[in-house]
Amino acid sequence: MKEKKIAAVVGIFLGLVFIISMFFLIKIYGTSSMKEGSYAKIYQKGRFVKKISMEEETTFIIEGKHGKYNKVQVKDGAIGIVEASCPDFLCGKMGFLSKGPIPITCLPNELVIEIYNEGEGAQNTYNNSNENKEAGVNEQEEIDGVVY
């Protein structure tokens, strides 16, 4: 009887350890492989302002000080600046981008829009459109930066 009790306690203990192990395993593994879809992160003056899914259809204004603003639009899986207070409108001239790695930048308003494509969280990915269209695949390679 005593042995049975000990076995039960050990069993419960190991069961608990197993459940806790699985919990951590999922936590560690799960988050890194979870697909988020394409999204964009908007920064103003070095501060993170907004994360937005590229699947949305939306238009919004990011306001700065002294009447500065950038009107951002997300449509058809791409993001771009359609109106801005900056004198050169270089940010708008960059057009609509659907993939990284070069961010949309508005220097006068200190605004940066980084685009992250489907896949693992932190790093930019790219897909070479021509190659992939021909091959019929949507393979992406992770990169650590881009020189331009």
- From first CA to last CA, the distance across the chain in angstroms is 75
Q: Would you say 4 or 35 has its CB closer to other proteins? A: 4
Q: Would you say 14 or 61 has its CB closer to other proteins? A: 14
Is residue 29 involved in binding other proteins (CB under 8 A)? yes
The tokens describing 24, both together, are 């951590």
Contact 132, 138 (CB under 8 A): yes
Q: Is 83 left (phi over 0), alpha (psi -120 to 50) or beta?
A: beta
Strands 104-106 and 111-116: antiparallel
Mark 83-122 with x for binding to other proteins (rule: CB under 8 A) and - for no binding: ----xx-x----x-xxxxxxx-x-x--xxx-x-------x
Residues forming the site for other proteins (CB under 8 A): 3-4, 7, 10-11, 14, 17-18, 21-22, 24-25, 28-29, 41, 43, 45-46, 48, 87-88, 90, 95, 97-103, 105, 107, 110-112, 114, 122, 126, 128-131, 141-148
